[in-house]
Chain A
Amino acid sequence: MTTVELGALEQSFNTVVEQLRSGLNPGEHFTLTLTSEQSQFTRFNHARVRQTGTVCDGILRLKLMHDQRSSYQDFPFTGEVDIDRQEAQQVLYALRQEVAQLPENPYLILPSGRETSRELHSGKLLATERVPSTILPAVADLDFTGIYSAGLVIRGYADSMGQKHWFATDTYSLDYSLFTDQGQAVKGTIAGSEWDQSAYTAKIEQSREQLNRLTKAAKPMQRGQYRTYLAPAAVAELVAMLSWGGVSEASYRQGGSCFAALRRGEKKLSPKFHLKENFTQGLVPRFNELGEVAPAELPLIVAGELVTLLISSKTAKEYSLNANGATHDEGLRSPELAIGDLPSDRILAELDTGLYVSNLHYLNWSDRPTGRITGMTRYACFWVENGEVVAPIENLRFDDSLYQFWGENLVALTNVQEFIPDVGTYEHRNLGGVWVPGMIVDNLTYTL
């Protein structure tokens, strides 16, 4: 997208904002959020193109608040000033009719800040028509499958108090898998704002080498407890679970948090475990749906001790707490799990005998109050004996409590982190990701 085209989108957004501000009745407040993208999606299977196309989309969410009542409406954002302005006017009118019919919400939060921000991150992405011919020759001899997603992503915010945020970034991600004839696979992801052909080639070569280690017949494993190394991508899956009935203060208050036992002092986590929100990389907007800006860093768990959960302004009002910049759903937006002291070249030696698990799949709570999570091993996972890789394994199901694998059974965390990008594209392309190290745990329980 050109600078002029991006400017036109921002101009249309600004025009809608000004119109809404000038059209409010006394006592009314609003917030307006924008989610917009111009994305290319090219999907691969067997090193060929399965589907390829482009999506231009934008959604505005206008929330109207009046007399302790509120409602929102999502409507298309096209970037055409006249269309967007007219649509916004109709939506404001419709919301006014609806809000008057609704019951009061005693915990309604009105926008109150004075924050503004504007961040533009331009990139250097592959030209649309060059994607197949750039990506596929390097993997033509491989069973390569995955998706290249790229383009402009915009997040915007404005409200009746004069706050305004604009965040626009060009990004790409190539999320792929390589398969052996026997169905064993290696996962790879590269992401950023500038396509780097040499980095891509190097990444594929690295994956190719990993794939070669999977050519031995898979070893069937008996259920039981195994010392296990969980690579960063696997750890990222575990961290992601904490946004679902974990770090939310409201969830804790309403019986839904796995950390209730930690807060009550009934369970402990390892002093090696440190979790925080870290926005200093600038990969995701710090503002939330009320325009509030989160702290650059927010420690949640330090040395195994719970410092705070994520507290939105609504939760803060309901339970007489102080908010800490969280979004309404109180999920992690830019999580970081701290490193430990295990050098990468000592992973196998420290593991000694056990399982090397590169990825996990399809996690869910098997018993949330006790922190028990189940899921499957996926991709390149190996049986290791005496610090040497013996053979890939058949997929195993684990079922264990985070109070075990992040508690007394946590042996070591690696002394480097990896950034695991969020490549999710439900409804829109996600931003950001998670910074995590790998970790070795004792006696991880495998059940099937």
Chain B
Amino acid sequence: MPTGSMITKLTHLLSTLDIPADWVGLRATREASTHRSARDGMPETNGTSSTSGVMVEVLVQGQIGYAATNLLSAQSVRAAAEAAYQHAIAAKDWAIHPTPLSARPPVVGQYHSPRVKPFDVLSPGEINDVLINICHTLKRSDAIVQTTATAITTETESWFVSSNGSEVYQNFLRIGTDYAATAQAGAIVQRRSNNGFLAHCYQGGMEYFITPHLWDRVQQVGEQAVELLSAEECPTETTTLVLSPDQMLLQIHESIGHPLELDRILGDERNYAGGSFVKLQDFGTLVYGSPLMNITFDPTVSGELASYGFDDTGAPATREYLIQNGVLQRGLGSLESQGRSGVAGVACTRAASWNRPPIDRMANLNLEPGDCSFNDLIGSIDRGVYMEANRSWSIDDQRHKFQFSCEYAKLIENGKLGKTLRNPNYRGITPQFWSSLAAVGDRSTWQMYGTPFCGKGEPNQCIWVGHGSPVARFANVEVFGGGA
């Protein structure tokens, strides 16, 4: 349905609702995604998922009720609005905080993902051919026992209209690719992927699938999987740790993003995802990390996975510093959370789909570059470990004590990258870890990645986020290897 037609339809539906609400919003979503994968040179998955529906939000006496339906008929939407109204009425005397109308600002606008090559530039058969060839190219030796290759494309359209005049249309094109090789020699098993599982997630088209250096990189991934079989275990010691951008993705996500979500700090998530070691009074004063630490919420980066023009309540999205020169400035919180907490936030109220209510989420959360070249950053290290690509992640419910592992590492000795290490792990405590940030790479080392797997919320929601980072160096970190 053309953009204007859907807006017109929703506006008409809105005008036919007969409920005594203070505000009503209709957010319709239509999403089509394709998932294609190959394993060991054979097709593994070929599928398309289409979902569509409308979320009706109703504000009554400070309480929002919602109802979502996948049937976009007048009768169904009216029934949903009535159900949402009844929810609001039933809960209004138990509301945790009166939601003001200002939490749903009137806004008109559009957003479109950047795109160079449309998804249909390759046929399903051609995409399968590429994936199968990736599998064949990954298999650099008989020691490789599994090869996989995946391409996922998604087009999402959302339309938002409200009784106070909002009309927002957003069109997102997202693509995620992944390939990996698993090598085995007896009891030793090592898996190497292209910067971590589905780390290559972007907004855009097929230009992110057939990239200029694709085949060189595929070969390298296969060779490194085999290389890891004979590599030394990561040593157990406290040392200098250098993280590449594909691991910083995870480090930023888990130890900065989640603890700064205002709904976690307000306690909404304590029964599931957890709370936060950050307190409301910390904003503006807490020294979160070293002065080299500058973290932005930036939905304006072209091609980064979670760029957008408006969040799912219609709030216009802008670039903001969350942490500047190491000091905590603002949280990841919606207008609702900002009203509840009195803390400055950002436009980050997002829903995983039409069938979930919007909550505080990360979007693009980036570590801004410093002024250190890669060679300078490594060159000043007598001994340390350089790690690439996330393999495992675990952190406590206050986002305090973490343990992460990577796929691939190098020992740093006398200012140079040396021998390869396998099973690299490290652990730490969030504030101490970020306070030990000793050097930040310059723009030439900055890379952006994304993940479609950020989970939180009750009911649960899995959403896409982007993270860009330069290479970063941390002092005095516990590293260790594998083994029982």
Contacts and interface: CB of A to CB of B under 8 A. Distances in A.
Contacts of A256: 146, 182, 189, 191
A132 B396 contact: no
Nearest to A80: B71
Interface in B127-171: 128-129, 132, 145-146
Among A52, A83, A106, chain B packs the most CB atoms within 10 A around the CB of A52
Given A54-B68, A448-B429, A403 B90 contact: no
A364 B403 CA distance: 9
A369 B188 contact: yes
A224 to B, nearest CB: 15
Contact of A367 (B146, B458, B460, B482): B482
A52 B66 contact: yes
Contact of A53 (B84, B94, B129, B392): B84
Contacts of B2: none
Contact of A74 (B48, B80, B184, B429): B48
B423 A367 contact: yes
A372 B458 CA distance: 30
A54 B396 contact: no
A128 interface: yes
Nearest to B69: A56
A146 B267 CA distance: 10
Contact of A147 (B73, B271, B275, B484): B271
A57 B355 contact: yes
A48 B66 contact: no
Interface string A261-282: 1001011000000000000000
Contacts of A129: 86-87, 89-90
B91 to A, nearest CB: 4
Interface string A119-133: 000000000111111
Nearest to A375: B394
A130 B90 contact: yes
B70 interface: yes
Contact of B96 (A49, A56, A146): A49
B271 A175 contact: yes
Interface string A37-80: 00101110110111111111111000100000111111111111
B50 A75 contact: yes
Interface residues of B, number: 86
B371 to A, nearest CB: 33
B431 interface: no
Among A55, A83, A424, A448, chain B packs the most CB atoms within 10 A around the CB of A55
A59 B146 CA distance: 32
Interface in B428-484: 429, 455, 458-462, 482-484
Contact of A103 (B132, B427, B459): B132
Interface in B38-83: 39-40, 42-43, 46-53, 63-71, 73, 80, 83
Given A98-B124, A255-B189, A426 B461 contact: yes
B405 interface: yes
Given A177-B271, A369-B189, A70 B355 contact: no
B215 interface: no
Interface stretch (A19-27, A155-163, A393-401, A411-419): A393-401
A448 B43 contact: no
Nearest to B274: A361
A240 to B, nearest CB: 14
Contacts of A372: 482-484
B95 interface: yes
A178 B26 CA distance: 35
B455 to A, nearest CB: 7
A102 B43 CA distance: 8
Among B43, B188, B275, chain A packs the most CB atoms within 10 A around the CB of B43
Given A53-B84, A133-B90, A448-B403, A367 B483 contact: yes
B484 A370 contact: yes
B46 A364 contact: no
B427 A53 contact: no
Nearest to A257: B189
Given A146-B458, A366-B482, A447-B427, A103 B43 contact: yes
A57 B403 contact: no
A412 B371 CA distance: 57
A284 interface: no
B87 A52 contact: yes
B112 interface: no
A371 B462 CA distance: 27
Q: How large is the interface on A (under 10, 10 to 19, 20 to 34, 35 or more residues)?
A: 35 or more
A52 B429 contact: no
B84 A54 contact: yes
A94 B47 CA distance: 11
A368 interface: yes
A42 B91 CA distance: 9
B47 A71 contact: yes
A401 B484 contact: yes
A50 B97 CA distance: 8
B66 A83 contact: no
B372 interface: no
Given A53-B65, A98-B124, A71 B267 contact: no
A75 to B, nearest CB: 5
A48 B95 contact: yes
B383 interface: no
Interface in A96-147: 98, 101-107, 128-133, 136, 143, 145-147
Nearest to A132: B94
A263 to B, nearest CB: 11
B333 to A, nearest CB: 14
Contacts of A176: 271
Interface string B387-421: 00000111111101101010000000000000000
Interface string B215-254: 0000000000000000000000000000000000000000
Nearest to B83: A54
Among B73, B96, B392, B458, chain A packs the most CB atoms within 10 A around the CB of B458
A266 B462 CA distance: 38
A179 interface: yes
B427 A48 contact: no
Contacts of A103: 42-43, 125, 128-129, 132
A146 B269 CA distance: 8
B103 to A, nearest CB: 13
B123 A101 contact: yes
B282 interface: no
Contacts of A185: 270
A63 B43 CA distance: 14
B70 A57 contact: yes
A147 B459 contact: yes
A83 B70 CA distance: 12
B266 interface: yes
B46 A55 contact: no
Contact of A404 (B42, B46, B392, B484): B484
Contact of B49 (A42, A73, A376): A73
Contacts of B63: 49
Given A101-B124, A372-B482, 18 more contacts: A43-B458, A45-B268, A53-B84, A129-B87, A176-B271, A179-B267, A179-B270, A254-B145, A255-B182, A255-B184, A361-B274, A367-B483, A369-B187, A369-B188, A374-B394, A397-B401, A425-B459, A426-B455
Q: In the A-B complex, list the 8 residue pairs whose CB atoms are closest, starting with the nearest.
A: A53-B66, A367-B482, A425-B459, A48-B96, A101-B125, A254-B146, A147-B458, A74-B49
14 contacts: A50-B268, A73-B50, A74-B49, A105-B42, A132-B93, A147-B459, A254-B182, A260-B187, A362-B394, A367-B405, A372-B483, A395-B398, A403-B484, A448-B427
